[in-house]
Amino acid sequence: MGLGNGSSRWEFILMGISDQPHLEMLLFVVFLVLYVLNLVGNLAIIVVLWLEPCLHTPMYFFLSNLSFLDLCYTTSTVPQMLVNMCSTHKSITWAGCVAQLYVSLSLGCTECLLLAVMAYDRYAAICQPLRYTIVMSRRLCMQMAATVWLSGFSNSMLQTILTVRLPRCGRNRVNHFFCEMPALLKLACVDTSSTEAEAFAVSVIFLLVPLGLILVSYSYIVIAVLRIRSAQGRLKAFNTCASHLAVVSLFYGTAIFTYLQPPSSYSQDRSNMVSLFYGVIAPMLNSLIYTLRNKDVHGALRRVLGRLFGNKRT
């Protein structure tokens, strides 16, 4: 970003969530608990999926990717937010801000693509059950996962560079709890319409195109499920998709609100609340959704805990 004078050249002031000290300490406790739950929940899913051979399937391979992604996303923003809540000087270095912007954008783009891949996996499992193991081979799953991660991190490099190169004429007070692109664009002292147009175009590609693929996949899934004669069979098929649909709704609803609204209607306060939801709360909910609603993960978690504590007793 453009260079100003003094400390603003090398740091940013993150305004945070609240300017009331008593409320901020309460929020510190709340978000610390949420962060710890997020760490425990997603780490538990990753470990269980790795230890249980019966869960070494494409569906759970992509779920472990999602859990790792959520773990990284919250770790890129929440610790800095918690540190600033306990400090009177709520700052982040210039390099730290750039890194936070790049990592959060990269992981957000990656999750868009990953959720679309997970929808395709459900389509293959329900609509092509006899060919599922052939269609979703281990090699293809690895290639799809690698493509998703590389695409997300490659695309975000351009957006980060375009954002940090904008001159800000000494402005360094970010009205947000982390360095998110819309908030940083507000610091620019030049016309940002071209950067906003580029960001909007990228958002359409990484949000609406994967969402369209998800909707197409689920339209085929619904048609296939309705052809199942037994009510129990239909319920079982829908249950395999329920957790993924819940995560898709949480993620895309908040991401579209943040990145696909006209700049004229952009409200920083509302955006901060939405960012809190998909940046802190949603990743924790994802782990809860998959552990509580998914019987396979729930059962595997109990078996792993049983073996762990059973060995300690003996």
**Tokens 């004229």, located at residue:** 264
Report the half-sphere exposure of 53 (CA within 13 A, side-chain side). 0
Residue 19: left (phi > 0), alpha (psi -120 to 50), or beta? alpha
Average pLDDT over residues 4-25: 69
Name which of 12-26, 138-152, 255-269 the model is least confident about: 255-269
Which run of H or of E encompasses 289? Answer: helix 282-292
pLDDT score of 115: 94
Full-model pTM: 0.87
pLDDT score of 292: 65
List beta partners, residue 92.
12
The answer on pLDDT for 4 being more than 80 is: no
Average pLDDT over residues 173-189: 85
| Tokens describing residue 173 | 């007070």
Q: Which domains does the chain have, with CATH numbers?
A: 6-313 (1.20.1070.10)
The answer on pLDDT for 53 being more than 80 is: yes
Instruction: Name the band, by pLDDT with cuts 50, 70 and 90, for residue 2.
Output: very low
Which residues 6+ apart lie within 8 Å of 85 measured at CB?
Answer: 16, 24, 25, 27, 28, 31
The answer on pLDDT for 153 being more than 50 is: yes
